[in-house]
């Protein structure tokens, strides 16, 4: 028997799969569900955060110019920093790609992965700090954060693996709401460093990923961080691939050199400490500022 859609949605809401405050997004976002064999948290120790309880819907209007930051990559771009952070400015918001709704911004942010509670780390992200910095020092009057990073992911995961299509889907989800990304921030490479991904392979996956993003019709700036640091060192084979993809002629720009922040800025030789995220947010702000208005 095929149930009418309305009946099915009521049933799913009743058992807790869909928050009553949210709606189904017509744009499907590929996701790692954080499970292996039905055990939550055993796949890369994280899952996309999507719990909207305690979050406040913020439908707008937003102060103009509104800077929409789409962030992608792996754990350091997700919600896996040492401590949760709430932006100091009220005009910082969080777009949830899983229901297409804008909420207040406070860690853990909706959309990206976060470590499951283990008593050691919180749900922090550098993005709230970056948003505060942009409102302090640029022409942005409001900031909408759209995180989509997945911890432990390789760049190939985003092109041919479990996350294939995720990034263009988030772009399409934003565009369908009239929210045009002001910039895409890419920070990823730690897992590829550990696994020995070659420069050529990383570059090929990256080019395929940017082509898939451009296929959405969005032509805004993409910023690529140099990022590969893991357990005491980085990988020039990864950072050289990242640097080689920077091409202002096609609106791809250099992000910060996050490998320059060594172990002293990380609580476990991989993930950034609070002081590390303060420094990294400043570095990201500098990279965006160098691009020009509205940054």
Q: Write the CATH number for 83.
A: 3.40.50.1110
Whether 30 maps to a domain, the answer reads: no
The residues, any chain, with a CB within 8 Å of residue 38's CB and separated by 6 or more, are none
Mean pLDDT is lowest, of 49-53, 70-74, 290-294, for 49-53
Q: Give the HSE-up count for residue 26: Cα atoms under 13 Å, Cβ half-sphere.
A: 5
- Give strand ranges (E) for 78-174: 92-96, 101-104, 113-115, 142-147
Q: What is the pLDDT of residues 110-145, one digit of tens each?
A: 999 886 555 455 678 999 999 999 999 999 999 999
- The span from the CA of 142 to the CA of 102, in Å, is 13
Q: Between the CA of residue 126 and those of 110, 187, 265, 272, what are the distances in Å?
A: 14, 12, 13, 9
Q: Which domain holds residue 250?
A: 63-291
pLDDT tens profile 160-183:
988 999 999 999 999 999 999 999
Within a domain: 4 = no
Whether residue 16 is predicted with pLDDT greater than 50 in this model: the reply is no
pLDDT at 7: 29
> Is 47 part of any domain?
no
Domain count, the chain: 1
- Other Cβ atoms within 10 Å of 217 Cβ, number: 11
Is 80 exceeded by the pLDDT of residue 155? yes
Tell me if 278 is assigned to some domain: yes
Whether residue 204 lies inside any domain: the answer is: yes
- Does residue 186 have a pLDDT over 90? yes
């Amino acid at each position: 028997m095929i149930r009418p859609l309305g009946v099915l949605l009521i049933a799913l809401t009743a058992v807790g799969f869909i928050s009553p405050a949210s709606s189904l997004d017509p744009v499907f976002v590929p996701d790692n569900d954080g499970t292996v064999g039905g055990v939550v948290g055993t796949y890369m120790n994280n899952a996309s955060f999507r719990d909207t309880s305690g979050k406040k819907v913020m439908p707008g209007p937003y102060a103009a110019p509104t800077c929409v930051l789409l962030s992608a990559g792996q754990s350091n771009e997700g919600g896996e920093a040492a401590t949760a952070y709430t932006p100091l400015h009220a005009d910082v918001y969080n777009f949830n790609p899983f229901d297409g709704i804008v909420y207040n911004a406070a860690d853990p942010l909706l959309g990206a992965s976060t470590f499951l509670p283990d008593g050691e780390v919180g749900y922090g992200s550098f993005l709230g700090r970056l948003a505060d910095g942009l409102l302090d020092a640029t022409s942005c009057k409001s900031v909408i954060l759209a995180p989509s990073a997945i911890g432990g992911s390789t760049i190939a995961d985003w092109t041919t693996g479990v996350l294939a299509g995720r990034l263009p889907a988030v772009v399409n989800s934003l565009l369908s709401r009239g929210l045009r990304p002001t910039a895409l921030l890419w920070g990823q490479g730690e897992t590829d460093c550990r696994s020995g991904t070659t420069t050529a392979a990383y570059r090929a996956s990256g080019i395929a990923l940017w082509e898939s993003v451009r296929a959405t019709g969005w032509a805004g700036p993409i910023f690529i961080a140099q990022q590969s640091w893991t357990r005491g060192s980085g990988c020039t084979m990864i950072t050289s691939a990242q640097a080689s993809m920077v091409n202002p002629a096609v609106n791809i720009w250099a992000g910060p050199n996050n490998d320059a922040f060594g172990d002293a800025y990380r609580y476990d030789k991989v993930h950034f400490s609070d002081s590390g995220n303060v420094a990294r947010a400043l570095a990201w702000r500098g990279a965006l500022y160098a691009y020009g208005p509205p940054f």
